[in-house]
């Protein structure tokens, strides 16, 4: 399909870095190769921008009753976990993780990571997501699948090994993954260092991990303060909260993505704000595992940077960012009896622009000239979204994956008029079913 596209006559919705989400009615958006070259209300200027970029012909995508907006960047996911969907539910995080998930993960082989990841990417794309911060082992298989699909991933790599009951730092694993990314010559994959949580490794191991992150200039991906048990055990062992302990180890900075952050005190919020950590809020997972309700209002007030994630499909049990946006906003309102909290504009920005920034893709997540063309098309000509009313409210409170008509990533359509263009979904379904039966 043509690398030049003129999106014509759309309702264009976009977040900004320092102002609320804005709307352009009857707007035009020109895409040349991987980038947006025009956004505005003039068809003539949209064509001039395409010609000036070097385009001779272009494909016209008509926008009657359609919204054009940025795709979602899911700031906390475990993509291969789709193979564990609906096999261990209605239990606590501790029983779920140590009793059901880790014993199965220990039996995973490379094809499980590859196809489990692709299944999740298919689901994400059909739901308007084009980017994920993915915390999981199997980085090469996952990165390969993402590159083949044309999907953006901030992918973790392990900087450690566990052998004969002893943890040790594993620089080679990091070096191999960085070399792999370099070889691929791709804009789609960015690395990060996997530091699961404060409760999975011995105390002396956190500082060496922090040194690995600094040595290779890697962002850190970590779960923090997800449950009350985590806080109690941390205080019992170290006398301080998980946030304080991880900060002492040097693991919190402006590229760190910290998932959950449900149970925080004022000092924790101040540290997260001072270090400019990205907090990935996971409302579905926190409620399903009964971890608790993160206090978004207090985090906002403290100046903590917020984004949004689904967590893995085994604790959610889907990857629907529309659901996360709606839940995040409704929980903030319902738990405080204040309907003004976490507005549609704020939560849409968390799910799009902020997610991209958290994942390290700074030129994505805004519909404007010069940004990369990561775009979703929403068809609002359906009972669920009709009449449209405020387009931003409609996206957050009424829309769902079935309204996503097309998804473009880096200028390529990966979903076009509801058809996946880069994933053989039947093959992926067949392989993941086999994996699920084997690991049952």
User: Residue 64, by phi and psi: left (phi above 0), alpha (psi -120 to 50) or beta?
Assistant: beta
Q: What is the dihedral of CA 43, 44, 50, 53, to 10 degrees?
A: -140
In this structure, the strands spanning 35-40 and 22-32 are: antiparallel
Q: Of 311 and 324, which CB lies nearer to Zn ion in the complex structure?
A: 311
The answer to whether residue 230 forms part of the interface with Zn ion (CB under 5 A) is: no
Minimum Å distance from CB 367 to Zn ion? Answer: 29
Minimum Å distance from CB 114 to Zn ion? Answer: 20
Among all residues, whose Cβ is closest to Zn ion? 311
Q: Which stretch binds Zn ion (CB under 5 A): 28-36, 100-108, 167-175, 304-312?
A: 304-312
The answer to whether residue 105 forms part of the interface with Zn ion (CB under 5 A) is: no
Q: Which stretch binds Zn ion (CB under 5 A): 112-120, 209-217, 309-317, 352-360?
A: 309-317
Minimum Å distance from CB 135 to Zn ion? Answer: 6
Q: Of 123 and 311, which CB lies nearer to Zn ion in the complex structure?
A: 311
Instruction: For residues 403 and 137, give the distance between their C-alpha atoms in angstroms, rounded to a whole number.
Output: 33
Q: Of 285 and 345, which CB lies nearer to Zn ion in the complex structure?
A: 285
The answer to whether residue 311 forms part of the interface with Zn ion (CB under 5 A) is: yes
Instruction: For residues 333 and 284, give the distance between their C-alpha atoms in angstroms, rounded to a whole number.
Output: 15
Q: Which stretch binds Zn ion (CB under 5 A): 45-53, 103-111, 181-189, 310-318?
A: 310-318
Q: Of 36 and 296, which CB lies nearer to Zn ion in the complex structure?
A: 296
* Distances from the Cα of 75 to the Cα of 107, 343, 351, angstroms: 27, 19, 8
Neighbours of 318 (CB within 10 A): 18
Minimum Å distance from CB 35 to Zn ion? Answer: 32
Minimum Å distance from CB 285 to Zn ion? Answer: 7
Q: Are 409 and 371 in contact (CB under 8 A)?
A: no
Within 150-244, strands assigned E span: 152-157, 160-163, 166-169, 189-194, 220-224
Q: Of 37 and 307, which CB lies nearer to Zn ion in the complex structure?
A: 307
Q: Which of 246, 187, 257 is nearest to 218 (CA)?
A: 257
* Distances from the Cα of 436 to the Cα of 115, 125, 439, angstroms: 11, 22, 5
> Binding marks (x or -) toward Zn ion, 161..190, rule CB under 5 A?
------------------------------
Neighbours of 90 (CB within 10 A): 8
**Pair of tokens at residue 86:** 């609906």
Minimum Å distance from CB 294 to Zn ion? Answer: 13
Minimum Å distance from CB 304 to Zn ion? Answer: 18
Helices (H), 320-417: 321-336, 344-349, 355-358, 391-393
Instruction: Provide the 3-class DSSP secondary structure of residue 332.
Output: helix
> Binding marks (x or -) toward Zn ion, 356..395, rule CB under 5 A?
----------------------------------------
Q: Which stretch binds Zn ion (CB under 5 A): 91-99, 111-119, 146-154, 303-311?
A: 303-311
Which residues of the chain form contacts with Zn ion (CB under 5 A)? 311
């Amino acid at each position: 399909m043509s690398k030049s596209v003129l999106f014509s006559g759309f309702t264009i919705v976009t977040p900004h870095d320092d102002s609320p989400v804005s709307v352009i009615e009857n707007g035009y958006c020109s895409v040349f190769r991987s980038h947006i070259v025009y956004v505005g209300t003039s068809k003539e200027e949209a064509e001039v921008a395409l010609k000036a970029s070097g385009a001779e012909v272009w494909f016209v995508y008509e926008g009657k009753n359609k919204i054009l907006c940025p795709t979602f960047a899911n700031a906390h996911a475990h993509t291969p976990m789709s193979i564990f969907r609906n096999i261990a539910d209605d239990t606590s995080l501790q029983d779920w993780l140590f009793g059901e998930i880790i014993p199965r993960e220990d039996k995973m082989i490379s094809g499980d990571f590859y196809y489990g990841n692709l299944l999740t990417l298919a689901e994400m794309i059909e739901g308007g997501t084009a980017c994920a911060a993915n915390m999981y082992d199997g980085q090469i298989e996952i990165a390969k699948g993402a590159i083949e699909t044309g999907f953006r991933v901030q992918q973790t790599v392990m900087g450690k090994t566990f052998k004969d009951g002893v943890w040790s730092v594993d620089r080679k694993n990091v070096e191999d993954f960085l070399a792999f990314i370099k070889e691929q010559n791709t804009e789609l994959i960015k690395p990060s260092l996997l530091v699961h949580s404060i409760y999975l490794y011995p105390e002396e191991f956190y500082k060496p991990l922090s040194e690995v992150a600094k040595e290779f200039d890697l962002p850190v991906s970590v779960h923090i303060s997800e449950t009350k048990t985590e806080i109690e055990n941390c205080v019992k062992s170290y006398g301080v909260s998980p946030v304080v302990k991880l900060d002492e180890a040097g693991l919190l900075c402006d590229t760190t993505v910290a998932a959950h952050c449900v149970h925080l005190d004022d000092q924790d919020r101040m540290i997260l704000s001072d270090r400019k950590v990205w907090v990935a809020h996971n409302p579905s997972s926190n409620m399903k595992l009964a971890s608790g309700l993160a206090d978004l209002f207090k985090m906002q007030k403290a100046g903590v940077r917020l984004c949004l994630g689904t967590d893995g499909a085994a604790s959610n049990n889907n990857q629907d960012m529309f659901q996360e946006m709606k839940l995040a906003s409704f929980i903030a309102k319902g738990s405080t009896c204040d309907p003004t909290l976490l507005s549609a504009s704020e939560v849409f920005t968390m799910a799009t622009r902020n997610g991209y920034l958290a994942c390290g893709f700074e030129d994505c997540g805004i519909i404007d000239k010069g940004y990369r063309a990561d775009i979703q098309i929403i068809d609002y000509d359906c009972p669920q979204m009709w009449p449209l009313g405020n387009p931003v409210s409609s996206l957050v409170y009424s829309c769902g994956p079935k309204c996503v008509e097309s998804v473009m990533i880096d200028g390529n359509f990966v979903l076009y008029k509801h058809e996946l263009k880069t994933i053989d979904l039947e093959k992926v379904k067949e392989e993941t079913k086999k994996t699920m039966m084997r690991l049952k």
